[in-house]
Structure 1
Amino acid sequence: MKHVRKSMMLLVVVVLSLTVVLGGCGGNNNEANQGSESNNKPQKEESKEVREITLWSFEARDPHRTLVTASIDAFNETHEDIQINAEFMDDESFKTKIKVAVAGNNMPDVFTYWSGDQFKTLVDAGVLGDITSQLNADEAFKNTILPGGIETFTYDNKSYAVPLALNAVMLWYNMDMFEQSGLNPPATYDELLQAVDTFNADGITPITVAGKDRWPVLHWYSYLAQREGGMEPFEKAKTGETDFATETFVQAGEKLKELATKKNGFVNGFLGLDYGAAEALFTNEKAAMYMQGDWAIAGFAKDPAFLEKVGFVPFPSIENGVGSSQVYHGGFGFGYAASSETDIDAAYEVIKYLSSAQERGKITEAAGTAGAVTGMELDESKMNSLAYEYLQFIQENAEGFFGYYDQQLDPSRAEAFLNATSAIVGKTDADIVKELKTVQ
């Protein structure tokens, strides 16, 4: 898919329903009256208690971190009575630290967190602050949140977070490499396998993936499962009506094993590659394809020359599969939540400011990820060409989204799924049914 170059400004308002659902405390400190002399003294100026809000965020990669930091600085400059102290960390460090915080009942005041059952575990643990009344009293802001956004983080009619982005996982590819090997970007899974064979024959690594982090491999499996059977099998397995060793899940596992172990589709040693190393192989033109969320655009844009070579397609369709290729892996994947122990009004002010169209629009312009609110006045001149094209594509083509498997399941099953898919791609004799049976 070649890049679209347009001179007009794009006002991106992605209004899509998900296919899957996934104040200042002032006071007078006047001296007590002590006779006429004291009564004639001027009263002291009203002082305000400064509320310190600790914020944890896993938006640790630039440009997100730089832009969120700038938003925090702007907030602190304009809110004398509320001050944000932020700490950024990568996903895995964040997961470890939040577990310790939950166990010790020492949660940050405001923090980013993923949606789905991973989020529900925090709801059930009673560590999240209820922001329902704040949202209901603030219709102007509430109405800017895209349909399905609030519902993603609502349980028992109580809202616990505000979404930050509407993400989708795409198959990114190097247009020059495809052209040199005489290939078109794959629209079907058979075409993907043919491309893998051609690249291997040409001495080119077909696909890079961060196997060490596990969840990028799960992205591959999740897409295969959705394209094979649609979304109903996952919903049934999630609720316990069936399990994850049923037909379409097994077929997805067989295809994933074939791609990784028989076709050598993934880069050698991929199980030892973390996110940064895997992405670097793509940006350094050592691999032809890279499947990742739209947040990867920011990394591509660091090299303008490389950016011009990047194209994208949705995950390919599967012959006789029932899942639509216009349904994308992603959705409202994460948002801002508050601790149940914090000053909820102050926390809400922080969440509202940092998730507003004004502040998140800057990230949309820089990174190309679709925001979760309307009203973003995007400046095309500040956007790279790939981000512009991607946002336009999502607006025009997305039928809906299905959530990340490791977020949609409880922590125990999510961990089991991550391990199962790693085992499936790790050896040629992997027993697909046996591995999937562990997810229960």
Structure 2
Amino acid sequence: MKKWLICFIAFLGMIVLAACADESSQEKQSEDDSASASEGEDTTQLSFIHWRGEDKEVFEDIISQFEEENPNINVEMNIYPSEQYQSNAQQLLRDGSTGDVFTSQPGTQFEAMKEAGLFTDLTDEDFVSKFSEGSLSVGQADGKQLAIPYQMVFNMPVYNKGMFEELGLEVPGSWSEYQEMADTLMENDIIPVVFPGADIGPNQTMNSMMMNNAKDEDIFQKLESGEESLTNEWWVTTLEDFQFFNENGYFQENALGTNQDSAMQMVANEEAAMIATGSYHMATLKELNPDLKLGFLPPITVEEGEVDYEGIHTATFMLAINSNSEKKEEAKKFINFLSEPEIASQYANGTGQHLTVTDVEYESEELQNTAHWITDKNTRFQPRYLITEAAVEEAVLGSIENVLGGASPEEAAKEAQQIVEENID
């Protein structure tokens, strides 16, 4: 065969191969585009909103696992600062485009969201049985389970157990023993309790300060019904105790101007023995100082024979489904996933939180050493969350801040009571 003919045939072959390859490539691209379009049509974008920025990395890992198990559901998590979430969450949820799964605090926020009709009834969902029965009541209203409390938080001061051991200090069981303990700490140039008044304020400390001064667990219900008054002994005594702490150096100087980050650093540096917040700060304290040994030490403001309550607990970070959501079934799958003991254990150990899910296994020393507070201690549900009117809550907390600012307990109580009376039926 002529050389030119061989070359011509080879050239035609190359053209045919190129055409086939191009056609094959186009067909494959078309198939890929069709698959992507099909996948996009079948994928549900689920919105999950909450306020716990410190849980971001743990939740991201859990969400990845959920999406792997549920490839047709993508979870978009949005985290808002706590104060912003408290004031704006209700508005975010109204049109159903945000917060298919959302979280709620007990108390005034739960009440406001309930009144706005934002909760989906979860009463008959199977995952409800995965939570400890005693914790569920705070998310119930009108005979329905509207939200599921996920965390069991202890809202009372966290203390440096190692420091107490070095100084030979015992955990006080009465007001006189508490004073002796505080005096010993101050003699060693240690602040007994650092109080983050600039951002957290008295939100947490008020609960354990009043737990044995006002033993009636319906005290705030009676306050809002007009049966009780902040000018009565139970609250004036509590304000007097705050004044005593402040004037005798149990709190640091400029308590109202100290933020939580600075307060935690003072405990981590062992400048202070306790922080007046709660269990949710234990993991961060350990990150700041891995050598810390931590426990709970609420203020005991009465003598030993008068002690009824040993501490404060709250079932909080309540998981809920937006009643305006069009993705309720996918939202239920996500909450069910979070309630699996293995996933709940991952969240608990990753964030340093006690949970309400049954069969959670705690790995960290702090969680193991404090888990007995759930079963062995007589703790009281956080009183502040039993206030249902926001204006009443602000008046109660404001009276404490006024006392720390220099007002007399009697005057602060009187001013707060006037606000209460203006805002109750």
- Same topology, TM > 0.5: yes
Partners of 2:137 and 2:408 in 1: how far apart? 42
Change (3 A) 1:179 1:166: closer
**Structure 1 residue 89 displacement after superposition:** 2.9
2:110 to 95, 119, 128: 119
- The answer for the alignment partner of 1:339 in structure 2 is 322
* 2:337 aligned with 1:353: yes
Cα distance in structure 2, aligned partners of 1:169 and 1:312: 9
Match of 2:159 among 170, 173, 193: 173
> Taking structure 1 as reference, are residues 76 and 239 closer, same or farther at Cα in structure 2, changes over 3 Å only?
farther
Residue 264 of structure 2 is aligned to residue 279 of structure 1: yes
1:49 maps onto 2:50 in alignment: no
Q: Partners in 2 of 1:432 and 1:421 — Cα distance?
A: 8
Deviation, structure 1 residue 86: 0.3
Question: 2: distance between equivalents of 1:163 and 1:354?
Answer: 12
**More helix as a share of residues:** 2
Q: CA deviation at 1:419?
A: 1.8
CA contact (8 A) 2:123 2:146 kept: yes
Amino acid of the residue matched to residue 42 of structure 2? E
Structure 1 residue aligned with 2:390: 411
Cα distance in 1, alignment partners of residues 97 and 399 from structure 2: 32
Residue type at the aligned position of 2:65: A
TM-score when normalising by structure 2: 0.81
Residue-pair matches, total: 381
Q: Which residue identity does 1:316 align to in structure 2?
A: I
TM-superposed deviation, 1:121: 0.8
1:167-207 C-alpha deviation (Å, 9 max, x unpaired): 21243222454455553332222222233333334332221
Gaps of 5+ in 1: 1-43
State the Cα deviation string for residues 112-141 of structure 1 (Å, max 9, x = none).
2111232011010122223334x1xx2xx3
1:16-95 mapped onto 2 (5 Å cutoff): 49-61=42-54, 64-95=55-86
1:102, distance to aligned residue in structure 2 (A): 5.5
Instruction: Structure 2: state its 5+ residue gaps.
Output: 1-33
Secondary structure in structure 1 of the residue aligned to 2:130: coil
- Residues 368, 398 of structure 1: alpha-carbon distance in 2 compared, 3 angstrom cutoff: farther
Q: What whole-Å deviation, never above 9, does each CA across 1:56-89 have from its counterpart, x for those lacking one?
A: 121211xx32211111111112212221100123
The C-alpha deviation readout for 1:20-39, integer Å capped at 9, x for no partner, is xxxxxxxxxxxxxxxxxxxx
Contact 2:186/2:192 (<8 A) preserved: yes
Q: 1:305: how far off? A: 4.1
Provide runs of 4+ in structure 1 moved above 4 Å: 44-48, 102-107, 179-182, 320-323
Over the aligned positions, Cα root-mean-square deviation in angstroms equals 2.7
TM, length-normalised to structure 1: 0.78
**Cα pair distance change 1:406/1:210, threshold 3 Å:** farther
Aligned twin of 2:302: 318
Number of the residue aligned with 2:173: 187
Corresponding letter in the other structure for 2:45: E
For 1:212 and 1:145, the matched residues in 2 are separated by 35
Q: Does 1:384 align with 2:364?
A: yes
1:57 touches 1:87 (CA, 8 Å); kept in 2? yes
Q: SS of the counterpart of 2:157? A: strand
Q: Quick check: 1:225–1:252 contact (8 Å CA) kept in 2?
A: yes
The aligned runs of 1:282-321 (5 Å cut-off) are 282-303=267-288, 305-308=290-293, 310-316=294-300, 318-319=302-303
Q: Distance in 2 between matches of 1:51 and 1:333?
A: 28
Q: Deviations over 1:371-428 (max 9, x none)?
A: 111132x2x6xx232221111x224422343225056332221222222221122215
> Greater relative contact order: 1 or 2 (C-alpha under 8 angstroms, separation 6 or more)?
1
Instruction: Decide whether aligned partners of structure 1 residues 179 and 349 sit closer, same or farther in structure 2, where only a CA change above 3 A counts.
Output: closer
The structure having more radius of gyration, on CA atoms, is 2
